[in-house]
Amino acid sequence: MLKTPVLVVNYKIYDVSYGHKALELTKVLERIADETGIEIAAAVTLPDIRLIAPKTKIAVLSQHADAIEFGSHTGFTPLENLKDAGAVGTLINHSEHRLRLAEIEFLVEKCRKLGMVSIVCTNNVATSCAAAALEPDFVAVEPPELIGGDIAVSTAKPEVISGTVEKVKRVSSRVKVLCGAGVKTGKDVSKAIELGSEGILLASGIVKAKDWERATRDIVSGMLK
């Protein structure tokens, strides 16, 4: 399990966030996690899991998993394969990789069996409640229209964070809530934490920053008391 507050950095697949560059970014995150004691996890591309996981102490997550058992499938990746490669958990149903409800349920259940962390991404309060009913470890709410932009969810739609926290906890107090989309600064983060978020799922604010170290330190400052 990831300790909270947690910063989950989704590397997506920018030209600076795969292969050896991704390993460099991970080393920056690891250093800052070590120094601050804040849990930072890296959601890397599937081929990079095996490159990065053995070389870092921070949690490495997959950006996606397919809802399949072993068998005659081509170009699909089951959780067992991701775990074997070194992933300790996975994003499920990211806004840029949506899944069907039955697939989400399959993956949450299988994560539980395999001892992997499940982070189900959602787009609003209602879908967050639906996801919470499946009892993943985390629900990460991200209004899609704010993803990759410059206005943070905590500024543009604070009610999505507070509403998600309130309603998800009513469904299951065990499910932790993350939020993301447009988060760029420590201020954005502290506001999200004040609204009840137990961490942040973020990409461009760090991955596309000119100075990864400076951007990450600023983001993490919003989680330090």
Q: Which residues bind ligand G3P (CB under 6 A)?
A: 10, 94-95, 142, 147-148, 180-183, 201-205
Q: How far is the CB of 91 from ligand G3P (least distance, A)?
A: 7
Q: How far is the CB of 147 from ligand G3P (least distance, A)?
A: 4
**Cis peptide preceding 5, ω within 30 of 0:** yes
Q: Which residues are catalytic?
A: 94, 142
Q: Cα-Cα-Cα-Cα dihedral of 174, 159, 102, 175, to 10°?
A: -10
Position with the least CB separation from ligand G3P: 204
Nearer Cβ to ligand G3P (170/214): 214
| Inter-residue contact 125 to 160 (CB < 8 Å) | yes
Nearer Cβ to ligand G3P (78/205): 205
Q: How far is the CB of 198 from ligand G3P (least distance, A)?
A: 16
CA angle 48/51/54 to nearest 5° reads: 130
Three-state DSSP state, 35: helix
CA–CA gap between residue 188 and residue 14 (Å, rounded): 23
Q: How far is the CB of 207 from ligand G3P (least distance, A)?
A: 8
**Distances from the Cα of 146 to the Cα of 54, 83, 183, angstroms:** 34, 31, 9
121: nearest Cα among 222, 201, 184, 188: 201
Nearer Cβ to ligand G3P (136/205): 205
Nearer Cβ to ligand G3P (39/142): 142
Q: What is the DSSP string of 126-152?
A: HHHHHHHTT--SEEEE--GGGTTSSS-
